[in-house]
Amino acid sequence: MIHTIDCGYTMPRYAAAYLLVHDGKAAFIDNNTAHAVPTMLQTLEQQGLTPEDVELCIITHVHLDHAGGSSALMKACPNATLVAHPRAARHAIDPSKLIASASQVYGEAKFEELYGKIEPISEARVKTMEDGETLDFNGRTLAFLHTRGHANHHFVIVDDAESAVFTGDAFGLCYPDLCEDGLFVFPSTSPTDFDGELAREAVQRIVNTGMSTAYPTHFGPVTRLEEARDQMIEWLNFSEALMEEARDSDQPDDALTAYIEPKLRARFEGRLADTSVGRDPATWDRLAMDIDLNAQGLAFIAAKQRKKARQ
């Protein structure tokens, strides 16, 4: 059984963790932040289970809205193993670079407000999964597929028993509050690893699993996978073209985010113009962070490609 947990990250129904329950054992997928751990454990208790029953704490990638709560969750669940992409595992074992980078961006007070305390996790409690490798979860097989494009340290988890694929950010963002007039899916191009070609390959690979339901971290189950794929490919094509336009513009590197952001917002406004959610000011509050992060990510890659061309 799969349970969707609203982690309350910045706003309701924005970031999820997933609880898998099978024959008296539990696994969490994506561990949000330290602030969400009490809610996650409460959901576990509601299923008649204890922290000692948790076998796995899995992170799709190491971005802090997916992995920031891992050390607190592992401390609470003494029998659990943290499962991560090989490139993500080292940051769970030694999170100092992540903490320093995020603290520099947000400031220490805002970092604490968003993520709480992040501590190292013992290497002995961390397991890495190669592309295509499988893992036994109390008699239930989970398969791991590496999916780059959003992050180079990203994988998705395929659960044949539930015909489910847990997609992290590789299959985009699909907020229920923006889907009142139909499915609305768009990619996360946040810094620093966006690659349009690899992202399109990841989206198609997820559909090719044949699973009936995708579970993106942002937010909740999606059952119309082929329609979601088509929207994602269209958005990724647009995002890649916008990045290239910015790269080839006469704007200095430090002005690229400001160049990209209004064009990105106009795209959202055009797509939502004829919907009730598009006319709701709360929609734009919900999307503000994603538009800003997506613009930053595209600007980062544009500047990176400029630098490479000069060398």
* Same-domain check for residues 245 and 96: no
Where the chain has pLDDT below 50, the residues are none
Q: Is residue 46 part of a domain?
A: yes
Q: What is the rounded distance in angstroms from the CA atom of residue 144 to the CA atom of residue 134? A: 6
* Same-domain check for residues 105 and 154: yes
Tell me the pTM. Answer: 0.95
Q: Is residue 233 part of a domain?
A: no
Q: What is the rounded distance in angstroms from the CA atom of residue 183 to the CA atom of residue 175? A: 9
Residue 298 near residue 260 (C-beta atoms within 8 A): yes
Domain boundary among 174, 192, 227: 227
* Same-domain check for residues 106 and 206: yes
Question: What is the model's pLDDT at position 106?
Answer: 83
* Same-domain check for residues 105 and 250: no
Question: What is the model's pLDDT at position 182?
Answer: 77
* Same-domain check for residues 54 and 102: yes
Its domain, for residue 242, covers: 238-310
**What is the helix (H) or strand (E) element at residue 140, kind and residue range?**
strand 140-146
Say which amino acid occupies 228.
Answer: A
Query: 3: exposed, middle or buried (C-beta count within 10 Å: 0-12, 13-18, 19+)?
Result: middle
Indicate the Cα dihedral angle 205, 175, 48, 42, nearest 10°: 130
Q: Is residue 166 part of a domain?
A: yes
Question: What is the model's pLDDT at position 276?
Answer: 87
* Same-domain check for residues 132 and 260: no
* Same-domain check for residues 81 and 148: yes
Domain boundary among 227, 248, 268: 227
DSSP for residue 173:
B
Question: What is the model's pLDDT at position 107?
Answer: 87
Question: What is the model's pLDDT at position 66?
Answer: 96
Question: What is the model's pLDDT at position 181?
Answer: 65
Domain count of the fold of the chain: 2
* Same-domain check for residues 178 and 269: no
